[in-house]
Every structure is written in C-alpha cells, then in structure tokens.
Amino acid sequence: MTTTTALPYSVQWDDTHITLLNQQALPTITEFIKLYSVEDVFDSILKLKVRGAPAIGLTAAFGVALGANQDGSTDLGEFKQNVTKHIKKLASSRPTAVNLFWALKRMENILQAAKSIPAAKEALILEAKAIFTEDEEMCRKIGEHGLSLFAEGDSILTHCNAGGIATARYGTALAPFHLAKERAFPIKVYACETRPVLQGARLTAWELMQSGVDVTLISDNMAAHTIHHKQINGIIVGADRIAANGDTANKIGTLGLAILANHYGIPFYVAAPSSTFDLSLESGTSIPIEERNGDEITFIQGVKIAPDNVKTFNPAFDVTPNHLITSIITENGIISPDYVKNIPLFVN
C-alpha cells in the first residue's frame, strides 16, 4: 500500500514498550517518548500527549497488550482480573471519544476468550496490531471518498486535527488533503487554530506543511470572515462520537462552524471511521462531554493570560445536530440524510 506522506507513525508497538509521538511538544519539537507501563499510557492519554479519537483507541489497545505482557501471574483467573483492571483504568482516561471504548471492548473480548496465559498475551498483541492495520486502511478509504466530494482548486476549511498523527495513518478529515497532494490535485486548506489548546495551529498546520499541502492558518474568530472573503467551498471535520441519528461530537468550536456553513450555504462534512459511531445512543444529547481544567483557557503554553481566580468553563467538545451535517464520510462510503435510516446501511 502506498503511503501519502512522510509523516511518522504517531503510535508504534515494541515488545517492551510503546513509542509515541508526543503531540504536546509539536510543532517546535518532534519528540518520541517511550511508554513502559499502563500508567504511562493512561497519563499520555489524559495529558493529550496522544490525542485524536482513533489514536487514543490504538494507544489504549497497545496499553492493554503491554500490561498483559508484563503480568507475571501463573493463574489464568488472576491474570484476567489484572488485565481487566488495566482495561477499566484506561477506559477512565477520557469520556467522549468512543474509539477508546470500542478498542478496549475488542481487547476485553480477546482476553475473556483466552484459554491460557501465553495464548492470551499473544492474542492481545495480535488484536492491537489488527486494530492498527484496520484503522490505517479505513483512513485511506475515507480519504478516497472524501476527495471525490472536492473539485480542483477548492478552498476547504477544517478544525482541530483529524490527521495522520491522530490516527494510524492518513487521518480522517485530513486524509483527502494528503491524497490530493500525492495526486497533484490542487486544494487550498484553511485551518482554524482551535482554542484552547491549539491543535489546529500546533498540529494540523504542522502536519499539512510536512506533506506540502497549501495550508493557511486562521484564528477561530476569523472563520466567518474567511468563509465569506476567501470563497470557502466547504468545511470538513473529524468526530469523536456519532450517535445513531447522526448527531456528532467533535472538538469544541465545530458546532459554530456548522452553523456558519448553513448560513453561507456551503457543505459541512464529517469524516470518521465506523468505529466512531455509537449506535447505542439515539441522539447527541446522550453523548458525555468532557470538561477539562480551566488552566487550558487561562494559560497559553505556560504563560498566564487571564486574571487570578477568574471562573472558567472549558468543555472539550460540542455536539453538531444532524440537520447541519451535509454528509458523513466513512470507509464504507458517504452517508447522506436521512441518517437514522441510512447509518445502519454503512455501519454494523
């Protein structure tokens, strides 16, 4: 399979550790850190050293395999109890990205089916590797379907980072741009900075520049002006969880962009693998929204920018209702409304 970029893998497995691209250090430092324990994996997810729903799931799956590999139990029941504790701990790291729970459920199923400790350890490693390989292929297909929606010369706006470093490879919302560059298919990308922790500025701009994509960075409050004056042809974003009716949770600020797209009459696309759908939830009103420490608002890169003791409200995600979404791009094809009727045709 041909890769589209020279980007490094954000998550890599070794028999004794996990190698992780530290996304907190980007763009000034390209740093790879080694995770030697489940606690290291938990910390990396919690502190956003790894982020992006698919990459979180991948890292957690490898974390389970790592914990199992290190377990010295000789009793199968005790071994399964220990690994189950690892799964529960990793599941508590972040509440919104459903890929985390999807990956951990797959690992739990493998664990419970194992008939011996050696077989369990081997099977868990193989399952984590399979999740990685599947995600890479899913993202490539998402890129193919997404690119079919664009025309040469289009200007497309994106938010947060749904790219190769947030997945196994290629990305979701950014996958069409990587493929377009490979095929000399001209597209201009406008990337919102994505406050409060600047994933668009630090990560998306960096990633697309690494691939040679024509990218322009804007601050979040420039979106309406940019759409109007730069003739933006569409908006594409990733997702952290999609309900059965198509309501989509994504990085805070996504809802505002969907409202702008509706106002200006341009398409608003969501790109996500089937693992991001949570068909157990009827609508987005049931999606849990993570609220993070207010320091993310009052500090930028360690520099205080707000008064002492100011009250903060820091939701990490918002939910875009299905009627504002033009279509949802998956590895299985492009889903159009009616989402309640059509999502089950693409997502098992």
75 is catalytic: no
Alpha helices, DSSP H, located in the chain: 38-46, 53-70, 76-91, 98-113, 117-147, 175-182, 199, 205-210, 223-229, 254-264, 295-298, 339-346
Q: How far apart (Å, rounded) are the C-alpha atoms in residues 200 and 213?
A: 14
143 is in an annotated binding site: no
Q: Which residues contact 265 (CB under 8 A, 6 or more apart)?
A: none
Catalytic residue among 240, 247, 278, 318: 240
Q: At what angle do helices 76-91 and 117-147 cross, to 10 degrees?
A: 30
Verify cis geometry, omega within 30 degrees of 0, for the bond prior to 338. yes
DSSP 172-206: STTHHHHHHHHTT---EEEEE--TTTTHIIIIIHH
Q: Is 294 annotated as a binding residue?
A: no
Q: Is 94 annotated as a binding residue?
A: yes
CA distances from 170 to 99, 142, 211 (A): 17, 9, 11
139: its two tokens: 């993202």
Q: According to the annotation, is 53 in a ligand binding site?
A: yes
**Is 52 a known ligand-binding residue?**
yes
Rounded CA-CA distance 259/137 in Å is: 32
Task: Please report, in range form, the residues annotated as the binding site for substrate.
Answer: 51-53, 94, 199, 250-251
Residues identified as active-site: 240
